[in-house]
Structure 1
């Protein structure tokens, strides 16, 4: 790794940490309400603007931006009083979307998501043991995302905002990391060495799978 890539990765990490802190502070009601609301609404605004940018005619882009600005100005008094709700909806939406993304690959004639990723890593044909394992891992991630979404919802409804924020904003990242560690340990016990991918291989396969899905094309097979 060269210095620019290290600095870029460090910058991304620091930005993620800053976002986690800002989300926790805003969700618990600390700090300036307008600043907290602006930070909370930023990802939603970015997603909407990206969708508007894809419209074929510039006039609809302008209309969309004006409509978005009008809606934001009209809703702002309510948004600044419901910062935690915005973070909850983002947390819920991301987890449900990922749960559906992993889970729908378990249905129908296609292959599970982790199986497709494994095919992008290994040049040889996958064994029956590997096929069962990758299907099980896909199911495990599906259950994780939906379970975390359910826990987040229950805490948001019944627990104080600070308790919900600790789970949603501070613990989600470590929980995902714990899932990777558990999966790695299971891989060591259940798969022989020649069927175990490295972490870098998994990351590259996930990026290729995401890019392939973003283009709307079916996964390639060797």
Structure 2
């Protein structure tokens, strides 16, 4: 298979999965699915975690060391399958709320005193030079905004899960979260164009990609800024 064709096929598979997963996840929380096919909820809710485990096993330089871990996970799934079928909604909730809390932590931890804000690092990766003071100030504010955004998503997810129906929570988690993220990107772009009209029109996604492609940038994610 040629490289362009392989990229196209991979893109189609990823797009199909991105559409199918939230649809299946939402359906699996319906009363009909919970009653007739509880295994579907367990399978779909655990699919991302198991996929990550398999990917880490495949990419591990010592695959034999990962085999016992995979075996233990398989035994636990077999032994607790019944309990998982009765409580798979918690797996969905922990996955959704936990992911957003983790993202909030990733952004928020860089706001500490004498630390470089994550969005400032993204901006430096794009411009490949030091930033003007107003840009540094703005990117720090945006880092705080994204931190609060992910905290809010996790909080709303928790409140809906605890006090609303599982179907209502599922609509928010599976169909509204991603559009809200896109809306956040749009609002950030609009604000940036008003506050920094003279700055090159690079978005946070450009910064993320540039930052990730820079080896020194990746290695500095766990270190204090220079």
TM bucket by the smaller chain?
0.7 to 0.9
**Unaligned runs of at least 5 residues, structure 2:** none
The SS at the match of 1:193 is coil
Q: Which among 124, 136, 140 is matched to residue 119 of structure 1?
A: 124
Q: Structure 1 residue 135 and structure 2 residue 137: aligned? A: no
The SS at the match of 1:178 is helix
Q: What is aligned with 2:75?
A: 70
Q: Which among 16, 20, 23 is matched to residue 21 of structure 1?
A: 23
Q: Structure 1 residue 89 and structure 2 residue 103: aligned? A: no
Q: Structure 1 residue 176 and structure 2 residue 181: aligned? A: yes
Length, aligned pairs only: 219
Matching of residues 41-80 of structure 1 within 5 Å? 41-50=46-55, 54=60, 56=62, 58=64, 60-80=65-85
Over the residues paired in the alignment, what is the CA RMSD in angstroms?
2.9
Q: What is aligned with 2:193?
A: 188
Q: Distance in 2 between matches of 1:112 and 1:211?
A: 16
CA contact (8 A) 2:120 2:136 kept: yes
Distance 1:52 1:12, change over 3 A: closer
**Unaligned runs of at least 5 residues, structure 1:** none
Q: Structure 1 residue 34 and structure 2 residue 36: aligned? A: no
User: What is the TM-score with the length of structure 2 in the denominator?
Assistant: 0.84
- Cα displacement string for residues 36-82 of structure 1 (whole angstroms, at most 9, x for unaligned residues): 21121111223344555648472x43322221111001111011122
CA contact (8 A) 1:112 1:134 kept: yes
Deviation of 1:86 (Å):
1.1
Deviation of 1:146 (Å):
0.8
CA contact (8 A) 2:107 2:147 kept: yes
User: What is the TM-score with the length of structure 1 in the denominator?
Assistant: 0.85
CA contact (8 A) 2:212 2:218 kept: no
